[in-house]
Amino acid sequence: MIVVTGAAGFIGSYVVGKLNREGFKDIVLVDKYDDPLKFQNYQTKTYSEIIDRDHFFDWLASNEKFVQMIIHMGARTDTVGQEPEIYQQLNLEYSQKIWKACIQYGLPLVYASSASTYGDGQFGFSDDHSIIPELRPLNLYAQSKHDFDRWALEQTEQPYFWAGLKFFNVYGPNEYHKSRMASVIFQAYNTILETGKMDLFRSHHPDFKDGEQARDFIYVEDVAKVILFFMNHRKDSGIYNVGTGVARTYLSLTKAVFNSMKVTENVGYMDTPEDLQGKYQYFTCANIQKLRSIGYTEPFYSLEDGIDDYVTNYLISGNHY
């Protein structure tokens, strides 16, 4: 039995689908099932039970002998939220309880961290544990993820195997409910469909031209493959970057969406919203040397190939994975 938290959300539901396709059916889905927009993310999945996140630890105390692993994808993911107590409760304290439960019951743990923890990139994008305490996140979401990473590294008691995965900019099917927090690919597709054009944020940084802000964009299929790798690997505990190792500009991304939609390019620019200015990462690029060094050899989707698969097989049809 495999437990997946955040199982109604974007990455969590995709991971459940990936597990199903790999032959895993005995899966317990943990989430807060109060968003009807998430229903389609899990309605067609095969699973054993659905558990409300508030009841999960009571359930686990009674069922721990049947559980083989916890894949903890659940979190408050809003990057512009201004309620520190919610991030503290859901992203730090809840994760700490899962960590301690994994120790108590002898369970391996894979959990979602975030590349947002790297802040403005002044310390680079290495997942070397010695660098992590120096990082300076730019928003409450990133800070909560960083706080748990730091806490995990400080613990003398640890699950016998654990991996914290710093996801870079993930995109792909099952993010339809995320609205403003959905990937730029999702935003671009819907905007182009409605208006025939796409406006990107102007640069407010002297080192970057408009549209030349760059991120490491990773397709959710690749994220799921990495998670399954760690599920089977179960050694070399630690924190790992999960990105492609290649930074691509928002302009390149937008052109790829136009191309996959077979629509003539029409790109404009607008000011970055005030609530994002000062909290915006202009460049991210995963150093994936550590991931490669422990035996992960799979190639990653190129941005163009990932976008084309997402647009043609999911966005146009509205399909879920």
* Nearby residues of 26 by Cβ (< 8 Å), 6 or more positions away: 1, 2, 48
At residue 167, what are phi and psi to the nearest 5 degrees? -70, 135
Distance CA 20, CA 7 (A): 13
Distance CA 142, CA 134 (A): 14
Q: What is the dihedral of CA 274, 277, 280, 282, to 10 degrees?
A: 120
47 tagged catalytic: no
- Alpha-carbon Rg for the chain in angstroms: 19
Q: Other C-beta atoms within 10 Å of 12: how many?
A: 26
130 secondary structure, DSSP code: T
* Structure token digits, residue 283: 């460049």
- Are residues 152 and 162 in contact, defined by beta-carbon separation less than 8 angstroms? yes
Please give the single-letter amino acid code of residue 88. Q
Q: Any idea which residue has 């089977």 for tokens?
A: 232
178 tagged catalytic: yes
* Structure token digits, residue 244: 């492609």
Point out the catalytic residue in the list 42, 141, 219, 250.
141
197 alpha carbon, distance to own chain's centre: 27
Point out the catalytic residue in the list 32, 178, 197, 290.
178
- Are residues 227 and 67 in contact, defined by beta-carbon separation less than 8 angstroms? no
User: Active-site positions?
Assistant: 141, 178
